Structure 1
Amino acid sequence: MIKMRLIRLLKGAGQYVVYQILWQWLSLLVQIVIVWNIAGLIEDAGKQGIRTERILVALGIIIPGLLLRFVCDRLYTAASFRASADVKRILRGRIYQKILRLGPSYREQIGSAELVQMSGEGVEQLETYFGRYLSQFFYALLAPLTLFFVLSPIDLRTATLLLLAVPLIPLVIMLVMLVAKRLLSRYFDIYYGLGDSFLEKLQGMTTLKIYQADRAAADDMDRESERFRKITMKVLTMQLNSTSVMDIIAYGGAAVGIVSALARFASGELSLAGVLMFILLAAEFFLPMRILGSFFHIGMNGMKASDRIFAFLDLPEPEVGKAELGTGNIDIRMEALSFSYEESRPILKGITLELPAQSFVSLVGVSGSGKSTIAGILMGRNRGYGGSLRLNGEELSRVSTESLMNHLTMVGHDSRFFRASVRENLLLAKPEATELEMKEALRKVNLLSFIEAQGGLEMQLASNGSNLSGGQKQRLALARALLHDTPVYIFDEATSNIDAESEEMIMKVIHELTKSRTVLLISHRLANVVGSDNIYMLKDGKIAEAGSHAELMRQAGAYRRLFEEQSQLERFAGGRRDSHA
């Protein structure tokens, strides 16, 4: 079970595998010297008694030999650790670099849960593979040959018998491999599936509780966990059974060799020292291969983990754009833009629109009409679009990801915050931002006084900002976006599901941005888009109407009907609030 691609990929860690083999082999040679001295000492005692000089000579070899074996074992452990550390560093670095090359659209090709499991458990499997299994594989081949070379001059027949019995262990390993390959494939499929399911249900726990579907979700998890338990027990049973068989072969083979040596000694064909050498070293023919057998499941797990990792590393990468957008404002033009997540389900159907530099453009329409898909394409999250999308005359697909991120900022309705201080979350947008700049951004969104009352910029946020209200989270997201300071801002339902005060504050900041930036506003609430230079109303992936608010109202089409319906509902809701007051 040696995968050359894996070894080539991790050539930096390969040297430590060689060191492990070297230290084990040197330890074996030292053990042979120690056994030879002990056997000679016992033979001398049986023949003529032991002289003090002979004992001192033997001790002068045995004691340093034991110390040398201890040093070799420590060096082997150190090399094993270095190999493991290098594997984790190299592989996780490769996975990270692959994610960067895939760009913002990487989630189109791999799930987040699988990626986390691959970077965690998958890499850990290969850490053990390189740290223990690989060196043991080569040492298990080298040790019997070394012992045969040493013992064959003493008694060729017994040494040959021991050497011929050693391949029985890898034969068992090969038979087990035929069963294990399919079993481990199922094991990892179920394992990664369980991780995806668990993450999905954990993230949706609030929704499950609201609709009292948490019990059904828990039952689903129980069933999936039971499947995983059963497949795990099958893997463990297979490993236990194979270990038992290998023990029988290893110790049985050593016993056969010892019996052969004793028979040769009884017939006078082998000296006392010779028979003691075979008795004390017979097990060493089999133990390296036996230990390899115990690492067999590690090797198989490592192979399956490497298959997953290589499948990810082999994912087709989008053509990397290298064009830079330069400084200044950005003009955006879309012509016959089309996109579909699945071939049979087109989302955008020939969208043509313009976002001139320093303009305020809005996208409106019912849910599913394609508004957020356009934002995703602009941010590089949705690739493989048809038609043309140009920024300052440069096709989006030719623009480098770094340049795109430096010129466009998007604020959605679910901006992510990390369990850290407010300062650390703000510095994500501008690492070199001063305290004055961060406070000014917070002041603009009317959040500074609240933050200062909670400890200032060192205020600690809970996971995803759960210790903030919905409106406060959105205002903090806007403050972070202001620090990024890019020529283009995209607001995708940034005012949905928040209180009226926060919505008003956010819209005030957005209107201020329109004086010097290109702003694309996606909103379900038409009252927020009234001041736009141009409004595009999408329906079924197409532009149904376009124009300013006044122009669309004069057209008396779908936009006007939706606007009047929303206005009537808001007046009704306002009247009800007044009557309750």
Structure 2
Amino acid sequence: MIKMRLIRLLEGAGKYIVQQIVWQWISLLAEVVIVYNIAHLLENAWRENLSTEGIALTMGIVLLGLGFRFLCDRLYTKASFHASADVKRILRNKIYEKMLSLGPSYRESVNSAEIVQMAGEGVEQLETYFGRYLSQFFYSLLAPITLFFILSRISVQTALLLLLAVPLIPIVIMLVMIVAKKLLSNYFAIYYGLGDSFLEKLQGMTTLKIYQADQAAAEDMDREAELFRKITMKVLSMQLNSTSVMDIIAYGGAAVGIISALGQFSKGAISLSGVLMIILLAAEFFLPMRLLGSFFHIGMNGMKASDRIFAFLDLPEAEDGKAVLEEKEIRISMEKLCFSYEESREILRDVELEIPARSFVSLVGLSGSGKSTIAGILMGKNKGYKGSVKLNGRELTEFSSRSILDKMTMIGHDSWIFKGTVRENLLLGKPSATEEEMKEALRKVNLLSFVEAQGGLEMPLLSNGSNISGGQKQRLSLARALLHDSPVYIFDEATSNIDAESEEMIMEVIHELAKSRTILLISHRLANVVGSDCIFMLENGRVAEAGKHEELLKKGGSYSRLFKEQKELECYSDKNKESSAGRHKESFVETQRDTGMEEPGHMEDLQDKTGEREDTVEEGGEKHE
């Protein structure tokens, strides 16, 4: 049960496996020396031929042999540790390098939960496989042969019987392997499925609570966990049953050898010391193979884990370009661009657009029209497009992913904020940023006063910024992007799901950036794209219209209709707010009148105080959401 590809992949761990085998073999030889001296001591005692010097010499050799075996065990453990450490380091590096090679598009091939389990539990399975199983496999072949040559000098017949009984254990292992192969395939399929399901439900817990579906989700998890428990019990049952059979063979074979030796001793064919050596060493023929059998399930788990890892490492990769994008001003052009997530579902159809350097271009359209897909193609997330996407006249695929990510920054509506501090999150955008640069970035997004009031750059943040508001989280993401200071910025619905005040602040920053950077703005709200140099209206994966805001309104096409619809909805919403505010004011006045609080000048004083509070909030530079 050896996979040569795995051995070749982990060449660095090979020397430690050889060391484990050597130390085990030397320990066996030390045990033979100990047994030989004890057997001769007992024979001399039986013949009444003992001497003080002989006893002292034998005890000295025994103690020296025990000390030598202890040293070999320590060295074996040390080599096992180094082999395991190398395996974890090499495999996790390979998985990480593969993730980098796949780039942002890795989720098209494998889910995040499987990668986490693969790099965690999967690598741990192979740690034991290399740390114990492989060395035991080779030693279990070497030990019986060594003992055969030693004991054949005493009795060839008995040594041959013991040697022939040894292969019965691997035969049992092979039979169990046939049954276990399918069982372990199901085990790992259920195991990875359970992890994926758990992660998905954990991430969507808020949504499940909102729709009161958390109980149903918990019941689903219980069913999946019960299925995993059952198959785990089957695996353990298989392991215990195979262990019992191997015990019967091991100790039965040793008993056969001992009986043969006693029979020859009774006939005078071998000496007392000879039969004692066979009795004391017979079990050593079988114990290494028996121990290998106990590692059998570890070996099988390691094989199945390696199958998953190799399947991931063998995922096809889009060829990464070698060219470096060095220009500080970048123009983008697309010709007959087509893209499909699935063969039957085409997202983009012959898209033609031009984004000049240092221009402000917007993509608009209904949901599903392909706006975010274009952003994903530019950032290297969506591979396998057809047509042409050029940066400064050269095809996008000619450039390395690192070069593209260095020159383009994308800010979405769900940019992730990591657990840690504000400083640590900002340094992701520019690791060498000074404190002044970070504060300036926060000031530009009107977040500096809030951060300083909460402890400054060392302000703690929870996972995904759950201890700050949505608007503050988005502005912090924008500050991080500003520190990245790239020639191209892509804003993919960066102002969605936040308050109007934060949206206005972000749009101000975008317009300021547009003076010196290439800006691609994707927005569902057309009021944000009015000042664009060019607006591309997407419909059904095609560019339906293109031009400035005024030009598109005059055409009276799709853009004009969508803009007017949104304007009417906003006006309707504003009227409702005014009507609601009027009703609240009337109710407030009536309450004042009923309670006798309405006195001359009272309302004016209240309005003055309200105005003072608003001025105070504005001077603070931050409104709490």
Q: TM-score range by the shorter chain?
A: over 0.9
Q: State the partner residue of 1:575.
A: 575
Q: Provide the secondary structure at the position in 2 that maps to 1:251.
A: helix
CA deviation map 1:146-190 (0-9, x unaligned): 111110110111111111110000000000000011111111111
Matching residue's letter, 1:331: R
d(CA) in 1 for partners of 2:226, 2:546: 55
Q: Provide the secondary structure at the position in 2 that maps to 1:48.
A: coil
Cα RMSD for the two superposed structures: 0.9
Shift of 1:88: 0.4
Alignment of 1:464-543 (within 5 A): 464-543=464-543
d(CA) in 2 for partners of 1:228, 1:162: 41
Alignment of 1:55-66 (within 5 A): 55-66=55-66
Matching residue's letter, 2:4: M
CA deviation map 1:343-389 (0-9, x unaligned): 00000001000110011111111111100000000000000001100
d(CA) in 1 for partners of 2:419, 2:260: 69
* Residues 120-129 or 570-579, more deviating: 570-579
Q: Provide the secondary structure at the position in 2 that maps to 1:337.
A: strand
Q: Provide the secondary structure at the position in 2 that maps to 1:433.
A: coil
Q: State the partner residue of 2:137.
A: 137
Matching residue's letter, 1:217: A
Q: State the partner residue of 1:98.
A: 98
d(CA) in 2 for partners of 1:257, 1:453: 83
Q: State the partner residue of 2:220.
A: 220
d(CA) in 2 for partners of 1:529, 1:208: 35
Q: Provide the secondary structure at the position in 2 that maps to 1:335.
A: strand
CA deviation map 1:467-512 (0-9, x unaligned): 1110011000000000000000000000000011100100000000
Q: State the partner residue of 2:18.
A: 18
Q: Provide the secondary structure at the position in 1 that maps to 2:217.
A: helix
* Residues 186-195 or 12-21, more deviating: 186-195
Q: State the partner residue of 1:239.
A: 239
Q: State the partner residue of 1:422.
A: 422
Q: State the partner residue of 2:459.
A: 459
Q: State the partner residue of 2:272.
A: 272
CA deviation map 1:493-540 (0-9, x unaligned): 000000111001000000000000010000011100100111111111
d(CA) in 1 for partners of 2:458, 2:327: 33
Q: State the partner residue of 1:33.
A: 33
Shift of 1:49: 3.6
Q: State the partner residue of 2:392.
A: 392
Shift of 1:233: 1.1
Q: Provide the secondary structure at the position in 1 that maps to 2:154.
A: coil
* Residues 25-34 or 89-98, more deviating: 89-98
Alignment of 1:36-435 (within 5 A): 36-435=36-435
Shift of 1:576: 2.1
Shift of 1:577: 2.1
Shift of 1:578: 2.5
d(CA) in 1 for partners of 2:570, 2:524: 13
Matching residue's letter, 1:256: V
Matching residue's letter, 2:423: R
TM-score, length-scaled by structure 1:
0.99
d(CA) in 2 for partners of 1:350, 1:233: 56
Shift of 1:229: 1.3
d(CA) in 1 for partners of 2:241, 2:36: 36
d(CA) in 2 for partners of 1:204, 1:396: 36
Q: State the partner residue of 2:606.
A: none
CA deviation map 1:443-462 (0-9, x unaligned): 00011111111111111110
d(CA) in 2 for partners of 1:135, 1:313: 26
Q: Provide the secondary structure at the position in 1 that maps to 2:70.
A: helix
Higher Cα Rg, which structure: 2
Shift of 1:209: 1.2
CA deviation map 1:281-316 (0-9, x unaligned): 111000000000000011111111111111111111
d(CA) in 1 for partners of 2:223, 2:558: 48
d(CA) in 2 for partners of 1:190, 1:369: 37
Shift of 1:548: 0.7
d(CA) in 2 for partners of 1:258, 1:450: 84
d(CA) in 2 for partners of 1:312, 1:28: 41
Shift of 1:235: 0.8
d(CA) in 1 for partners of 2:134, 2:444: 59
* Residues 138-147 or 92-101, more deviating: 92-101
Shift of 1:266: 1.9
Q: Provide the secondary structure at the position in 2 that maps to 1:148.
A: helix
CA deviation map 1:196-232 (0-9, x unaligned): 1111111111111111121222222122212211111
d(CA) in 2 for partners of 1:559, 1:56: 104
Q: Provide the secondary structure at the position in 1 that maps to 2:336.
A: strand
Shift of 1:563: 1.1
Matching residue's letter, 1:137: F
Matching residue's letter, 1:532: S
d(CA) in 2 for partners of 1:541, 1:220: 38
Shift of 1:408: 0.3
Q: State the partner residue of 1:4.
A: 4
Q: Percent identity?
A: 74
How many pairs are equivalent?
Answer: 581
Q: Provide the secondary structure at the position in 1 that maps to 2:237.
A: helix
Matching residue's letter, 2:256: V
